[in-house]
């Protein structure tokens, strides 16, 4: 049986058949205009990954690549049932929540002399050690801590067996193809296989595999082993934050029935039709926003610092969502508890 549809094709198929989630053309154009104003700024360029985020590695070496790998291996499911009651990690005088609490915990461990980014360590790290490394400053632990422990052991063992313990060797095997690197990751590391079905068709989002390729490109600053000529074939990452933002910005619309369900905080299981429509339509929506933005840039003759692709749009929109959490309070995000996003 041939494999699932790739993410971009999966998203197009879902958007064409979706029954509870819809893309709003006017909203797409409005978001593209919002982004046009940023086209030549620091946010919509590769350097922003380091310049705007103090927890991300400064270096572009093997250790930095292995930092990205372990972080993206655990980059999932930070939302808490009660927004005011969540896992927080204090690091160097600042308090971090959500995805950034993961990065803060990784950096805190490294400062404490715990080699959390080394496969030889996390291949056999114990549950107790993982609970210590990712400890929260509140009484709310990081979600799915047992799954995180299992995935660390599984992933560390594979990295040791197949790639001499360094993700940089996996990157080099891709021969500078972003698509090949994504395939190598999903073929070799089971926890990255973000695949399901829609209307009976096997589809894929590969959210963590795509963000891993994107973050590898970013940490290597698009140079050397990180110079992927096909990097722009990577799509936005289908998480739970961007759909909420796209609805807030009017580019995405939910049916009344779905909105009601989300307002009640009802869980959607991974692979559920409405959950797949939320992820697929969000992904396709960002592709349309990118097309519209590139047209506007062309028409206005805007100068940009390098090619604008779905990765940079995604990074910007995700950061925007973090900075506008208050404004978005009225828009529920969908609650799916899983290891894929």
Among 67, 69, 76, 217, interactor with ligand 56B by CB under 6 A: 76
For the bound state, the minimum distance from the C-beta of residue 128 to ligand 56B, rounded and expressed in Å, comes to: 25
For the bound state, the minimum distance from the C-beta of residue 327 to ligand 56B, rounded and expressed in Å, comes to: 14
For the bound state, the minimum distance from the C-beta of residue 152 to ligand 56B, rounded and expressed in Å, comes to: 16
Contact between 275 and ligand 56B per CB under 6 A: no
Phi, psi of 82 (to 5 degrees): -120, 115
Other Cβ atoms closer than 10 A to 68: 26
- The catalytic position among 72, 194, 225, 239 is 239
Among 38, 148, 241, 261, interactor with ligand 56B by CB under 6 A: 241
Stretch that binds ligand 56B, among 31-39, 74-82, 268-276, 302-310 (CB under 6 A): 74-82
Measured distance CA(70)–CA(219) in Å, rounded: 13
Question: To the nearest 5 percent, what fractions of the chain are helix, strand and coil?
Answer: 55, 10, 40
Among 28, 49, 252, 275, interactor with ligand 56B by CB under 6 A: 49
For ligand 56B, the binding residues in 302-331 under the rule CB under 6 A are 314-315, 318-319, 322
For the bound state, the minimum distance from the C-beta of residue 51 to ligand 56B, rounded and expressed in Å, comes to: 10
Contact between 240 and ligand 56B per CB under 6 A: yes
Phi, psi of 339 (to 5 degrees): -95, 5
Among 194, 225, 239, 287, interactor with ligand 56B by CB under 6 A: 239
- Binding string, residues 5-44; x marks residues near ligand 56B by CB under 6 A: ----------------------------------------
Confirm if 182 and 234 have CB atoms less than 8 A apart.
Answer: yes
For ligand 56B, the binding residues in 115-144 under the rule CB under 6 A are none
To which H or E segment does residue 30 belong?
Answer: helix 25-36
The residue whose two tokens read 């089971």 is: 190
To the nearest 10°, the Cα dihedral for 321, 322, 323, 324? 50
For the bound state, the minimum distance from the C-beta of residue 109 to ligand 56B, rounded and expressed in Å, comes to: 18
Beta bridge partner(s), residue 254:
21
Tokens of 11: 């998203």
Q: How many residues bind ligand 56B (CB under 6 A)?
A: 21
Tokens of 186: 């999903």
- Binding string, residues 77-106; x marks residues near ligand 56B by CB under 6 A: -xx------------------xx-------
Among 8, 53, 173, 335, interactor with ligand 56B by CB under 6 A: 53
Tokens of 235: 């799509």
Stretch that binds ligand 56B, among 120-128, 167-175, 177-185, 240-248 (CB under 6 A): 240-248
**Residue 291 known to be catalytic:** no
* CA 185 vs CA 38, 159, 190, 245, 335: distances in Å: 32, 10, 8, 28, 26
- Binding string, residues 209-238; x marks residues near ligand 56B by CB under 6 A: ---------------------------xx-
Confirm if 117 and 106 have CB atoms less than 8 A apart.
Answer: yes
In 3D space, the residue among 247, 284, 251, 186 whose CA is nearest the CA of residue 25 turns out to be 251
Residues 6+ apart with CB under 8 A from 79: 98, 143, 240, 333, 335
Binding region for ligand 56B (CB under 6 A): 49, 53, 56, 75-76, 78-79, 98-99, 236-237, 239-242, 314-315, 318-319, 322, 341
* Catalytic sites, residue numbers: 239
């Amino acid at each position: 049986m041939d494999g699932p549809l790739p993410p971009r094709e999966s998203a197009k198929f879902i958007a064409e058949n979706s029954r509870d989630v819809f893309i709003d053309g006017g909203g797409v154009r409005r978001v593209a205009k919002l982004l046009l104003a940023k086209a030549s700024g620091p946010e919509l360029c590769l350097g922003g990954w380091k310049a705007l985020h103090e927890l991300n590695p400064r270096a572009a070496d093997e250790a930095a690549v292995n930092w990205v790998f372990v972080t993206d291996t655990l980059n999932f499911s930070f939302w808490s049932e009660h927004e005011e009651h969540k896992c927080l990690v204090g690091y160097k005088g600042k308090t971090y929540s959500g995805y950034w609490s993961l990065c803060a915990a990784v950096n805190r461990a490294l400062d404490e002399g715990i080699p959390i980014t080394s496969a030889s360590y996390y291949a056999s790290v114990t549950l107790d050690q993982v609970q210590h490394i990712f400890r929260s400053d509140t009484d709310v632990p990081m979600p799915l801590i047992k799954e995180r422990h299992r995935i660390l052991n599984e992933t560390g063992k594979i990295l040791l067996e197949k790639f001499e313990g360094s993700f940089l060797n996996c990157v080099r095997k891709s021969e500078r193809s972003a698509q090949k690197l994504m395939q190598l990751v999903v073929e070799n590391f089971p926890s990255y296989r973000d695949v399901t079905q829609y209307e009976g068709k096997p589809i894929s989002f590969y959210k963590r595999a795509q963000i891993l390729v994107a973050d590898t490109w970013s940490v290597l600053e698009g140079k050397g082993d990180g110079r992927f000529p096909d990097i722009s074939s990577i799509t936005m990452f289908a998480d739970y934050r961007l759909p909420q933002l796209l609805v807030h910005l009017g580019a995405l619309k939910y049916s009344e029935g779905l909105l009601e369900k989300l307002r009640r905080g009802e869980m959607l299981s991974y692979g559920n039709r409405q959950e797949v429509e939320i992820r697929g339509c969000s992904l396709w929506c960002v592709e349309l926003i990118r097309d519209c933005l590139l047209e506007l840039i062309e028409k206005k003759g805007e100068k940009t610092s390098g090619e604008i692709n779905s990765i940079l749009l995604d990074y910007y929109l995700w950061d925007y969502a973090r900075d506008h959490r208050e404004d978005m309070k009225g828009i529920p995000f969908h609650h799916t508890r899983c290891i894929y996003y």
